[in-house]
Amino acid sequence: MKLCTLVTVVFVTSISCLLEAQVGAPKIGFVRYADGTARAVYGLANNFITGEQIFASTDAVAFSASGGLVASHGNIHLIGPTGAVFGEYGSSETHPLLNIDGNLTTAIAYLPREQVLLRWDGKSLSPVQLSTAGLSGTVTSVDVLNTHEAELLVATSDGNISELAVSLDTGETTSVKLLPGIKGPAVLYHSWVLFQDKDGLEIEAANGTRRTVTLSHDAASQNDLVIERMAADWLHVISQTTKQSWALHLNSRVAEWAELPGLPSSSSHKRGGE
Amino acid sequence: MKSLILALLVCTPICAQGPSFFITDPTGSNIVGPLPGTYQFPDTAQSSSSSVVLRATNPTSSPIEINNIFVADASGSDTQSLNFTVTGTVQDKILSPSSSNFENFTVNFTPASVGAITGELRVQYQVQQNGCVLDSTDPATQCPEVTADVSTLQGNATAPQLVATYNGPSGSGTLQPDASSPQLDFGNVSLSATASFTITIANETSSALNTPAVSIQFPPFQSSPFALNLSALSSTIAAGASTTFTVTFAPGQSGLASATLAIGSNSYPLVGIGIAVLGTVDELQISYIDQTGVRGLPQGATPIDFGQVTSGTNGTATLTFTVANPTTSYSAVTVPNVTVTGSAFTLTAGTAVPPCVPLPQMPYAIQPGGCISFQITFSGSAVGNYTGTLAIGSRVFSLVGESITSPLPDLSFQLDEQPLKSQQQVHLSIQLASPSPVAAIGDLTLQFTPSVNGVKDDPAINFTATSGRELQVNVAAGAQTATFNGQSAITFQTGTTAGTITFTVAFPDKAPLTHAFTIAPEQVQITESSAVRQSPNLVVTLTGFDNTYSVGNLTFSFYDTSGHPIPPSPLTVNAASDFQQYFFGPSDAGGAFSMQASFPVLNGDPTQVGSVTVVLANSAGSTSTSLNFQ
């Protein structure tokens, strides 16, 4: 929609302005379903509409408004906002950890078998071999801290969680911080740490305050949840036990939790005027 | 000494010289003991029967041929008893000298008169010894035949307890199970007529007796021309009293018909012949086809069964009838009328069955080779059994149908949010009025009818479990809630379009439960918004929904950082056509939208613009939101 009219905005001097507006369907992000297909999701919270399949077989996905990382049969693809493949990295990794917070330079992948971080350097997905010193445990979350550093959450064998800063230039660990009171696999998300305990999904803010999303008994067992980033402010939460799927909309203004529709049926919806 | 005593115990009087005899179990499988010199049958009613299975073996070292076994009226007599019979194929059998070689036979005690009765079981046999030859016809070599008493049979014949007598087309008398010819012979009966026998069962004992079961045995999946009327038959018969029932022959098809009447353990053949009287409706061949295509030939004696329909579902069962005059007929047959009685049965011409004429005006003459057709529909609204009649001229057939319902208790829907509004995820549960006595599987469906003109659907409205609108739900025996995948709370989305969501749950044999929930039109709802300075532009982004699809005017009021209006605010824009283009365009997102408005600041400092208030108006009212520029 383009609405053209003349507006005079007066503050220091009078100014003529052209009003331009566009209306479209609200886009939310992309979701990997249990059958491995990745699909677009649009609509609103509590009003999700699952779109067409965009990838047939994926092992992991992470998306922001600017693009996404898709792991499929060991290959890691960096996808641009229009769906174009910007970069590709071949590996034998079947369970990579993917994340992208914002623009493509925030795209990062952790390959546990190779102990490698993949980052987008503007031209290609380049590997950074991690130093094994200080990296004892299971990496459960990864994100780009700044141009030269990545941030990892590592779950140790006793269940404690450490936050590691890793140099993207050398692969060396530059700092280690224990996250007190957090157990089991945890995920960093903006300034929150998400983890699962007997009460459900815990969302801990930087100031230590927590919110709890209560889950059904079946889905409340430890380590049941898989969390993937479906958009900048949206997380896809999957119960491996019940196969239920939720979307968590979380930013500084909102915290919404809703069921995500299951795989769509083949029925189509038609409206008048189409 | 011990073996001698044992031999004496188990041997019959002819032990050493001829065959030995033993009593077996009723199946003849196992010996239960030796046949004693005197065998006592249980008391047996006159004309009834009791029996014992016996086994003949050869204890000698030579082959024995048994020529005959019979019951004589006395020891040493060759006259056969009238009260005892021997059945089985024991005659002319050769028993080799081996314990595994034997022959079983049955002795029946069927007293012809009342009182103590005796008989003598006798055997005729030959032993192959001294060079003789069994079965030889040469007197010089044939073995001598011996006739010997085996055992004295005794029995007490009691008076008959129940006596069945008949009275009907073939006369009257006492029913005999072993009568040489059918006693219940209906003879020739017109297809428009019926014939009946009255059967009387009399208790001739001094105490009350239970009435034996009465039934007609006819090949399955066929309509029987014979019918029982047991309405007068009592369940017990007092001492010296009697009870009656009738057997009716009402043929619907011409030709010989037969069946079996069973009274207790006794069986009696029924025979009759259906006769088509020439020139009458008897000549017409009547048949029907049910909804599955199965053809039936109706009989006057057996109701035409329309089966079951589910009460409260407007369910119907329809049979299509054809009435044909055979090509072999000499002349046209006039049908005076076709009528149906019974409130649950409706006669219509229905779909024509070529080459038949669909229910013509009556009377109607059907030419040889011609036919008419019609349909009868059964629709029983309330639970119960329904009856009616079909009359084709003088030929009358009974009609029956049943309206049923499931034992599943009454159902109801419950929502955890009411009234429904757009952009909700609501939990639906299906409650039963009481614990279910049975397990059941049903279909739950969701339908959405938009109230917005030109809109047919909203894709976000579905059950989240499947993104679909149909689920299979289960009710476990004893449960009071239906479940899907073990969950009693079934989540659905209400979408972003005003209208009506209708749920229907249907279980077999139960009227579906339907309930509609309205989503009222509401003002535009903004779920996310932002105002950003992107020099030289001011960008306002609004995300939300309009469930009326009628957004019209947008009003933007800008304020400086001190909160003073910046003239010429407010700025009003009619966005109706642009929103309409979006709502009714290819983007299928219901009433959800995301709008971004850009205001280029051509000659000024965008940082001086502090906030904006946006008012969106639709058919349900106006919504206002204020945003600070970031």
Question: pLDDT per residue over B138-162, tens digit each?
Answer: 888 889 999 999 999 999 998 778 8
Is pLDDT at B64 greater than 50 in this prediction? Answer: yes
Cis omega (within 30 of 0) for bond into B355: yes
B70 and B131 together in one domain: yes
Q: Using 50, 70 and 90 to split pLDDT, how confident is the model at A272?
A: very low
Interface probe with A: pick from B483, B494, B496, most Cβ of A within 10 Å = B496
Of the residues B389, B404, B419, the one at which a domain ends: B404
- Sort B554 into a burial class: Cβ within 10 Å, 0-12 / 13-18 / 19+: buried
Q: What pLDDT was estimated at residue A4?
A: 36
Within the 193-222 window of chain B, which residues sit less than 8 Å (CB to CB) from chain A? none
Provide mean pLDDT across the span B506-519: 93
Q: Using the beta-carbon criterion (under 8 Å), do B571 and A5 form an inter-chain contact?
A: yes
State the smallest CA–CA distance between residue A218 and chain B in angstroms. 11
Contact A43, B545 (CB under 8 A): no
Residue A17 lies in a domain: no
**Section B317-336 average pLDDT:** 94
What percent of the residues of chain B are helix, what percent strand, and what percent coil, each to the nearest 5?
A: 5, 50, 45
B142 and B33, same structural domain?
yes
Let me know whether B559 and B431 are in one domain: no
Same domain, B575 and B464: no
Q: What is the mean pLDDT of chain A?
A: 84
Residue A274 lies in a domain: no
Per-residue pLDDT at B92: 83
Q: Tell which B residues from 552 to 571 touch A, by Cβ distance under 8 Å.
A: 554, 556, 558, 560, 566-568, 571
B72-109 tens-digit pLDDT: 999 999 999 999 999 987 778 889 887 678 899 999 99
Number of domains in chain B: 5
* Statement to judge: residues B559 and B446 lie in one domain: no
Q: Are residues B608 and B551 located together in one domain of the fold?
A: yes
Are residue B400 and residue B288 in the same domain, yes or no?
Answer: yes
List chain A residues with CB under 8 Å of B472: none
Residue A238 placed within a domain: yes
Cβ contacts (< 8 Å) between B609 and chain A: which residues? 9, 11
Rounded to the nearest angstrom, the gap between the alpha carbon of residue A61 and the centroid of all alpha carbons in its chain is 8
For A166-182, what is the mean pLDDT? 91
Judged against a pLDDT cut of 50, whether residue B16 lies above it is answered with: no
Chain A residues near residue B454 by CB distance under 8 angstroms: 271-273
Residues of chain B with Cβ-Cβ distance to A1 below 8 Å are 575, 578-579, 581-582, 595
Residue B601 or residue B525, greater confidence = B525
Name, in order, each residue with C-beta under 8 angstroms of A219's C-beta and a sequence gap of 6 or more: A225, A239, A241, A242, A244
Based on the fold, state whether residues B312 and B344 are members of the same structural domain: yes
pLDDT surpassing 70 at residue B15: no
How far apart (Å, rounded) are the C-alpha atoms in residues B139 and B306? 75
pLDDT of residue B627: 95
B460, B580: one domain:
no
Report the distance separating Cα B487 and Cα B489, nearest Å.
Answer: 6
Same domain, B385 and B445: no
Closest CA–CA distance from residue A200 to any residue of chain B (Å) = 18
pLDDT surpassing 80 at residue B324: yes
Which residue in B447, B559, B601 has the most chain A C-beta atoms within 10 A of its own C-beta, making it the best mutation to test that interface? B601
Contact B602 A272 (CB under 8 A): no
Q: From the list A11, A267, A274, which residue is nearest B586 (CB)? A: A274
Query: Do B603 and A15 count as a contact with CB atoms less than 8 A apart?
Result: yes
Is ipTM over 0.95? no
pLDDT band of residue A8 (cuts 50, 70, 90) is very low
- Residues of A whose CB is below 8 A from B458: 269
The domain of A206 spans 26-259
Residue B9 has pLDDT above 70, yes or no: no
Report DSSP letters for B451-475, one per residue. Answer: -STT----TT-SBTTTTBSEEEEEE
Mean pLDDT, to the nearest integer, of B187-213?
92
Instruction: Inspect the interface and report whether the beta carbons of A21 and B598 lie closer than 8 Å.
Output: yes
Residue B373 CB contacts under 8 Å (≥ 6 apart), including other chains: B320, B321, B322, B323, B349, B350, B352, B353, B356, B357, B358, B359
User: Which chain A residues are Cβ-neighbours of B593 within 8 angstroms?
Assistant: 23-26
Question: In the structure, what pLDDT confidence band is assigned to residue B332 with cuts at 50, 70 and 90?
Answer: very high
**What separation, in Å, do the N-terminal and C-terminal C-alpha atoms of chain A show?**
18
Full domain range(s) for residue B65: 2-158
The pLDDT value recorded for residue B381 is: 83
CA dist., res. B482 & res. B479, Å (int): 8
Whether residue B364 sits in one domain with residue B266: no
Read off the CATH number of the domain in which A253 is found: 2.120.10.30
- Does residue A274 have a pLDDT over 70? no
User: In the listed set B478, B499, B519, which residue is the last one of a domain according to the structure?
Assistant: B519
Pairing mode, strands B304-310 and B364-366: unpaired
pLDDT value of residue B626: 95
Over 60: is that where the pLDDT of B539 sits?
Answer: yes
Instruction: Note whether B590 contacts A49, CB cutoff 8 Å.
Output: yes
Contact criterion met (CB below 8 Å) for B431 and B411: yes
In eight-state DSSP terms, residue B100 is T
Strand residue runs (E) in A26-172: 27-32, 38-44, 47-55, 60-63, 68-72, 75-79, 85-90, 97-99, 108-111, 116-120, 125-129, 138-146, 149-155, 160-167
Tell me the CATH number at B108: 2.60.40.10
How high does pLDDT run on average in chain B? 90
Structural domain includes residue A139: yes
Among the partner-chain residues B584, B595, B608, the one whose CB lies closest to the CB of A273 is: B584
What's the domain count of chain A?
A: 1
Give the pLDDT of residue B79: 93
The confidence band for A225, taking pLDDT boundaries of 50, 70 and 90, is confident
Model confidence pLDDT, tens digit, residues B386-435: 999 999 999 999 999 999 888 899 999 999 999 999 999 999 999 999 99
Supply the pLDDT for residue B201.
Answer: 96
Residues in chain B within 8 Å Cβ distance of A14: 603-604
Show residues of chain B in contact with A251, CB under 8 Å.
none
Whether residues B18 and B143 fall in one domain: yes
Q: Which of B466, B545, B575 sits opposite A1 (nearest CB)?
A: B575
The pLDDT assigned to A216 comes to 67
Work out the pLDDT band at A21, boundaries 50, 70, 90.
low
Residue B570 pLDDT > 90, yes or no?
A: no
Is the pLDDT assigned to residue B121 strictly greater than 90?
yes
pLDDT at B45: 82
Find the CATH number of the domain harbouring B427: 2.60.40.1930
Question: Chain B window 597-616: which residues touch A at a Cβ cutoff of 8 Å?
Answer: 597-605, 608-609
pLDDT mean over B47-62: 88
